[in-house]
Structure 1
Amino acid sequence: MKQKVTAVFDIGKTNKKFFLFDKDFKEIHKEYSRFDETIDEDGHPTEDLPALQKWLKQVFDRILETDEYDIKAINFSTYGASFVHLDQDGNPLTPLYNYTKPLPQDIIDSFFESYGPKENFLKATGCGDLSMLNSGLQLYWLKKTKPEIFEKIKYSLHLPQYLSYVFTGIPLSEYTSIGCHTALWDYSKKDYHDWVYKEDLNAILPPIVSTETSINMNYNGRRIKIGVGIHDSSSALLPYIRSIKKKFVLVSTGTWSIVFNAFNKLPAELINPEDSLNYMRINGKAVRATRLFLGNEYKLQVAELDKRYGVDDDYHRNVKFDYNTYLEIIRDFEYRFNWKSITDEKMPSETQISYDKYEHAYHHLMIELVQLQVQCIKDAIGDTDISKIYVDGGFSNNDIYIKLLSYHFKDKKLRTTDASLGSALGAAISISDTKLNSKFLKKNYALKKHVPFIVS
């Protein structure tokens, strides 16, 4: 007898993944693929959209024909800030422009001349000035610089919804993609920003539905529930929201460390857009998020330490927290590191390391980085009564990072999780009627509790 499963395509910038989950959300099958990037008309690298679409269909059709699995539902999780522009026949009109592609400065200046002041606009839309990462500005850029293409656009779909469209042929919009620093949404109005209507962009943005929406389709003779897709960061947050009753923040660590607070009370217009973003939950509620270029800075500084002390590239992975080393450093603490990708008023003009041992220098680095992380978490918490902090991603396994974080937040419960499946699992959960309980994270995410050390 075939096993009933939910299928999820989880599309990252580098890895393209396909998962099957059973009724308890246990992973029972996975496939990975990578594609060479192509280039757009300006020579900027970008996603090979035809190759991606072909792979989606090939993988799904092959799994449908197996004797092992009975696919009852499928959903899609992808990176954000990416539009697919379709003509009246449903064919893409342009490449999938990479969010790293720079927008011309005159376009940005023109936009804020019309719809500024800039600071007010960024606060209203809950996003920083990230150029093409504000994917709504891509539509403005197309309209102003490529009017002959813009006029042919029937619908502009965010990438998760385009993948759903590939299977359903139904163009839709949903909250998590709209709310992903697109500059399209006015968080105080809970509607598209006025500029969207003034530029008539609402005419090419499909109807908005809840992220939990699914469409019952007859696909190749099978009745399958097809989801509308979800933005990956919001998807990774969903299992926590569904299974935790008390208020919490999630610290999702990696190249960027993003702190999500789904319980924020502060209006978007009062949030500092320099370091804060707003995302949206699947029901359209705002999620305050602060960010720190933690993993990137860590990588750059560790490379310098490795070179200075002549150790192997992986040496840092084995350095554990040492209480005496910590006490020695904080006794006469001074800021020693000049950051390469983070701006901080406390940092010296150049790095000043005088320790004999790598371990001491590494402890000092982590002490300073964690101080930045602590402030980032406090900014996300704001005036919210938060009792728990969850940490997932690469730094959840860094012994010094976790011990220092638990010390700084000894009035809260700190937990780490192994959420390598986070965004894919969230996509499966979003179209499921299954209720999650407090044991879900322990069973599926290797939940660990951490007790702060005591300074005597």
Structure 2
Amino acid sequence: MEAQPVILIFDVGKTNKKILLFDEHYRLVFEDSTHLPETTDEDGMACEDVTLLTQWLRNSFERLLKDTRFAIKAVNFSGYGASFVYLDARGEPVLPLYNYLKPYPEALQKKFYDTYGGEADFSTATASPVLGSLNSGMQLYRIKAENPAKFATIKHALHLPQYLSCILTRKPVSEITSIGCHTNLWDFTSRNYHVWVEREGLAEKFPPIHKSTEVVMTTSNGQTLPIGIGLHDSSAALIPYLANFREPFMLLSTGTWCISLNPFNHKPLTREALAQDGLCYLTYEGLPVKASRLFAGYEHEQQVARMAEHFGLSTSAFTTLEHDAALLDKLRRTGWEARSQRDTLQHSSFADTDLTSFASPSEAYHALIMNIVVRQRMSSAWVLEDTDVKRIFVDGGFSKNDIYMFLLAASFPAIETFAASVPQASALGAALVMHEYWNKTSLPVDLIGLKYYSCGAEKFMQ
């Protein structure tokens, strides 16, 4: 039997590490997912085990090269952002892969912003809300301040997607989708690193910036392959949609973070939008994408676990529920929707709600999803304003949630809302940018399956 030509994508999330193979028509033909145990940094904070991650990727690559069912023709990577791997002169990790949720020292953060023009002006220039360790550049700034000896041993600081590539290519590079995602590093006006990067000596730690579409020809086990330099997963997830749709749209990519991405909104971020966690990403072509973020996937996971324990049910008993119009109407009439509208993007009233106040597990879950969607509307509104967006595409976990999708459609009655079925959007995007290096067929026009949700029956939150 002849081996099937495929492209191999490593898609590394904080929770799941995936191996995916796409055929020449970008159909998913193989998928394997694993969860790697975390380790801790020097302060006891849980973080990615970079040694374990490196071993997993190398071993998986070598195993698939020997799999006679497939003929690997190219490799690329997508990975979560806001995370650096620090390499010494030998190209080996010299520090932990710090967790982007690690609390940031208030005094050091104040010193930084006082030195470089204040929070408002600096955040506007870099399109980066003040997020502490989630601003990845601040992680390197902290190392320099707290551990200058370790800082001196760092030869290269690579964002995680580029480190994944470097594992196989041994070539350290920088890449724009990783640099441009709320890192505090990129000046969106000058379209270059912000001046502080040079002044603090960070620039010398960053390898040259390469185009997102570039490859490194790499030989392994006697086989030479084009290997990509990796993409930030949120920017990668946008690529299949840009390839298939021309009319203005917003992509709501749902996972741990629910990220609203509007590639048709090119207006500069306002201070008000930044205060509401608005930001900009960069496409693989270096164009700004107006974005906003809500930590809804994480919140959903935590609250479903709380409900499962309280009601003595499995988590799947909640997540498989279909929407119940009568329950939603009851919640609206009893003031739950209005209460949710007084919440903020950072704080949900559901987290403080006594679960005994709900008559049933189903009512509690509908209340959680209503609260999340109310706040999702707040978040998405920032990227939708002043643009003629015709459609909202929802991908990821919430696209499969019936309650969420009906409520979201009702929240934006003037815009068509679709659950998008894309086989691993981030991985597919990373595959598509490699097309010219391995695939002689035309790009397919049916990459994305869509399910339309009407707002007609569920006119809440207007």
TM over 0.5: yes
In structure 2, what is the equivalent of residue 439 of structure 1?
446
1:88, distance to aligned residue in structure 2 (A): 2.3
8 Å contact from structure 2 (residues 41, 47) kept in 1:
yes
Question: Structure 1: which amino acid aligns with 2:446?
Answer: K
1:192, distance to aligned residue in structure 2 (A): 0.7
1:219, distance to aligned residue in structure 2 (A): 3.0
> Against the structure 1 CA distance between its residues 450 and 151, is the aligned structure 2 distance closer, same or farther, given a 3 Å change threshold?
same
Q: Report the Cα distance in structure 1 between the residues aligned to 2:349 and 2:51, rounded to whole angstroms.
A: 48
Q: Report the Cα distance in structure 1 between the residues aligned to 2:71 and 2:219, rounded to whole angstroms.
A: 14
Residue of structure 2 aligned with 1:430, choices 430, 433, 440: 433
Corresponding residue pairs, total: 452
8 Å contact from structure 1 (residues 253, 295) kept in 2:
yes
* 1:417 partner SS: strand
8 Å contact from structure 2 (residues 303, 351) kept in 1:
no
Q: Report the Cα distance in structure 1 between the residues aligned to 2:134 and 2:10, rounded to whole angstroms.
A: 22
* 1:136 partner SS: helix
Normalising by structure 2, report the TM-score. 0.88
Normalising by structure 1, report the TM-score. 0.89
> Against the structure 1 CA distance between its residues 271 and 225, is the aligned structure 2 distance closer, same or farther, given a 3 Å change threshold?
farther
Deviations 1:198-244 (A, max 9, x none): 12322221111221111223333212001001111111221112111
Deviations 1:79-127 (A, max 9, x none): 1111122222222222222222223223212211211311211122112
In structure 1, what is the equivalent of residue 421 of structure 2?
418
Q: Report the Cα distance in structure 1 between the residues aligned to 2:86 and 2:158, rounded to whole angstroms.
A: 6
> Against the structure 1 CA distance between its residues 210 and 268, is the aligned structure 2 distance closer, same or farther, given a 3 Å change threshold?
farther
In structure 2, what is the equivalent of residue 382 of structure 1?
385
How much is the aligned-residue C-alpha RMSD, in angstroms? 3.0
1:173, distance to aligned residue in structure 2 (A): 0.7
Instruction: Kindly indicate whether residue 404 of structure 2 is the aligned counterpart of residue 397 of structure 1.
Output: no
8 Å contact from structure 1 (residues 84, 96) kept in 2:
yes
8 Å contact from structure 2 (residues 355, 364) kept in 1:
no
In structure 2, what is the equivalent of residue 283 of structure 1?
285
* 1:386 partner SS: coil
8 Å contact from structure 1 (residues 40, 95) kept in 2:
yes
Question: Structure 2: which amino acid aligns with 1:288?
Answer: K
* 2:392 partner SS: strand
In structure 1, what is the equivalent of residue 33 of structure 2?
32
1:55, distance to aligned residue in structure 2 (A): 2.2
Q: Report the Cα distance in structure 1 between the residues aligned to 2:173 and 2:351, rounded to whole angstroms.
A: 50
Q: Report the Cα distance in structure 2 between the residues aligned to 1:328 and 1:134, rounded to whole angstroms.
A: 41
> Against the structure 1 CA distance between its residues 201 and 240, is the aligned structure 2 distance closer, same or farther, given a 3 Å change threshold?
same
1:410, distance to aligned residue in structure 2 (A): 2.5
1:303, distance to aligned residue in structure 2 (A): 6.1
Percent of aligned positions with the same letter in both sequences?
39
Runs of at least 5 residues in structure 1 that lack an aligned partner in the other structure: none
Q: Report the Cα distance in structure 1 between the residues aligned to 2:334 and 2:317, rounded to whole angstroms.
A: 27
Q: Report the Cα distance in structure 2 between the residues aligned to 1:149 and 1:184, rounded to whole angstroms.
A: 21
In structure 2, what is the equivalent of residue 118 of structure 1?
119
> Against the structure 1 CA distance between its residues 207 and 350, is the aligned structure 2 distance closer, same or farther, given a 3 Å change threshold?
same
8 Å contact from structure 2 (residues 25, 444) kept in 1:
no
Instruction: Kindly indicate whether residue 164 of structure 2 is the aligned counterpart of residue 157 of structure 1.
Output: no
8 Å contact from structure 1 (residues 337, 348) kept in 2:
no
Q: Report the Cα distance in structure 2 between the residues aligned to 1:323 and 1:387, rounded to whole angstroms.
A: 26
1:344, distance to aligned residue in structure 2 (A): 6.6
> Against the structure 1 CA distance between its residues 340 and 255, is the aligned structure 2 distance closer, same or farther, given a 3 Å change threshold?
farther
* 1:140 partner SS: helix
Q: Report the Cα distance in structure 2 between the residues aligned to 1:44 and 1:349, rounded to whole angstroms.
A: 26
> Against the structure 1 CA distance between its residues 147 and 412, is the aligned structure 2 distance closer, same or farther, given a 3 Å change threshold?
same
Deviations 1:356-410 (A, max 9, x none): 5655565455444322222222212121110010112222222222222222322
Q: Report the Cα distance in structure 2 between the residues aligned to 1:328 and 1:435, rounded to whole angstroms.
A: 51
Of 224-233 and 335-344, the range deviating more from structure 2 = 335-344
In structure 2, what is the equivalent of residue 131 of structure 1?
132
Question: Structure 2: which amino acid aligns with 1:401?
Answer: Y
> Against the structure 1 CA distance between its residues 297 and 244, is the aligned structure 2 distance closer, same or farther, given a 3 Å change threshold?
same
1:346, distance to aligned residue in structure 2 (A): 9.7
Of 54-63 and 320-329, the range deviating more from structure 2 = 320-329
1:10, distance to aligned residue in structure 2 (A): 1.3
* 1:18 partner SS: strand
Q: Write the mapping of 1:225-374 to structure 2, written as runs, cut at 5 A.
A: 225-270=226-271, 272-274=273-275, 275-299=277-301, 313-327=315-329, 329-330=331-332, 333=335, 335-336=338-339, 342-343=345-346, 356=359, 359=362, 362-374=365-377
Q: Report the Cα distance in structure 2 between the residues aligned to 1:265 and 1:382, rounded to whole angstroms.
A: 11
Runs of at least 5 residues in structure 2 that lack an aligned partner in the other structure: none
Deviations 1:293-318 (A, max 9, x none): 32344455556666787776544345
Q: Report the Cα distance in structure 1 between the residues aligned to 2:69 and 2:348, rounded to whole angstroms.
A: 59
